[in-house]
Amino acid sequence: MRTHLPRTVEVKEAQFQQFLRDVAQYESAQRRQAAQDRFLDAYSIWLRHRSPITQENLIAAARVLRALDPTFAFALPPHRGGDDA
């Protein structure tokens, strides 16, 4: 009775596992890119309106992005004042 898988099955299993890792990396990159897009959209809206709700949305988008990408850092720039939006 044979206890080991044939070599071709082992190779196919290794290839399949690599495929699964590649898919997971791709999905992670896609989630990160989508979060970056949402952050940039929120930032653009906040720059135009600078309202409390747009600021809340921006901070929430930054948190999501930071959770997906620990290297991401963001701090709100100080408000310049005036009506120069």
Cα distance from N-terminal residue to C-terminal residue, the chain? 78
Instruction: Give the per-residue SS3 of 17-68.
Output: HHHHHHHHHHHHHHHHHHHHHHHHHHHHHHHHHCCHHHHHHHHHHHHHHHHH
| pLDDT (tens digit per residue) in 50-64 | 999 999 999 999 999
Percentage of the chain exceeding pLDDT 90:
69
Q: What pTM did the predictor assign?
A: 0.74
Between CA 9 and CA 2 the distance in angstroms is 14
